[in-house]
């Protein structure tokens, strides 16, 4: 089993978003020193308590200040964007840091309704959200053309640049049987958000593994489980520190994003 880290770049009470991003970079370097396998950053919008709104930009910095650990998105919220543009962003990252880039994708809003509307401001129709599976298929085609993937039928002949002969690993993030089934059907890695869905993780992951269809993106199932973890020298200190996360989760479930309170 390999251990990795997903950092949401929380803004601590009394601190600033800039400091939160600096802490993310420090954590990435420490994770690499300790031998962690991956380091992912999240995408949240209009959230004062979380500084990471653009994972691609932050990933470029993190890859530059580390040397070997895999750097990824957990996740790029694909329904907000063009699959072609996401493919080009990650082809640039792959060209700069070959063999180290992960593209985790999800379909959550990542913010309130107003933020979602602003992110999709140039979209012609709201029905684009229902194109999620087609968007993933397009993304795979753009990123894996060198392995025989054809450009999407809607844009036959279109090629994502820069032309590199490797691609980031693709992971679909989810918290349900539906997302696991989609990941298995399309042949991508699957990351189950155990910190969001408290039950059923083992069954969902096993179903993904059992129904996985090999693709140009992955030859065999690649499951990943994401959990909240609080570490300290003693259990009592970990419980004390966890109180900050508990209160943040209560606020988050009430659709409020606040700076992380002190214990």
pTM: 0.92
What is the pLDDT, as a whole number, of residue 110? 85
Q: How far from 134 is each of 27, 122, 124, 140, 141, CA to CA, in Å?
A: 35, 19, 17, 10, 11
Query: What's the CA gap between 55 and 242, in Å, rounded?
Result: 25
**Given the DSSP bridges, would you call strands 70-77 and 223-226 parallel, antiparallel or unpaired?**
unpaired
* Contact (Cβ atoms closer than 8 angstroms) between residue 70 and residue 38: yes
Mean pLDDT by 10 residues, the chain (263 residues): 96 94 98 98 93 97 98 97 96 98 93 84 57 94 77 78 95 96 98 88 96 96 94 96 87 76 87
- Set out the domains of the chain in order of their start, with CATH numbers: 5-229 (3.20.20.30), 233-263 (no CATH)
What pLDDT sits at residue 117?
A: 83
Residue whose entry in the numeric block shows the structure tokens 């932050």: 58
- Output the pLDDT for position 126: 47
- Measured CA to CA, the distance from residue 257 to residue 263 in angstroms comes to 17
């Amino acid at each position: 089993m390999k251990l990795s880290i997903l950092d949401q770049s929380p803004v601590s009470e009394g601190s600033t978003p800039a400091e939160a991003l600096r802490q993310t970079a420090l954590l990435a370097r420490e994770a690499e020193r300790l031998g962690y396998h991956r380091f992912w950053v999240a995408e949240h919008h209009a959230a004062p308590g979380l500084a990471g709104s653009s994972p691609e930009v932050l990933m470029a910095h993190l890859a530059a200040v580390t040397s070997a650990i895999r750097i990824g998105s957990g996740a790029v919220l694909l329904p907000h964007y063009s699959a072609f543009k996401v493919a080009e962003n990650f082809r640039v990252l792959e060209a700069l840091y070959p063999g180290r880039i992960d593209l985790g994708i999800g379909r959550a809003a990542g913010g309130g309704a107003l933020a979602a509307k602003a992110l999709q401001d140039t979209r012609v129709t709201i029905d684009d959200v229902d194109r999620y599976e087609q968007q993933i298929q397009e993304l795979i085609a753009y990123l894996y053309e060198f392995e025989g993937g054809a450009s999407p039928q809607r844009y036959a002949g279109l090629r994502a640049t820069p032309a590199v002969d490797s691609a980031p690993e693709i992971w679909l993030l989810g918290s349900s049987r539906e997302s696991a089934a989609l990941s298995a059907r399309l042949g991508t890695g699957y990351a189950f958000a155990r910190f969001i869905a408290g039950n059923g993780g083992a069954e969902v992951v096993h179903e993904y593994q059992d129904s996985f269809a090999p693709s140009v993106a992955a030859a065999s199932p690649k499951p990943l489980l994401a959990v909240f973890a609080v570490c300290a020298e003693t259990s009592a200190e970990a419980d004390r520190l966890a109180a900050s996360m508990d209160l943040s989760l209560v606020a988050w479930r009430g659709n409020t994003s606040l700076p992380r309170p002190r214990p």
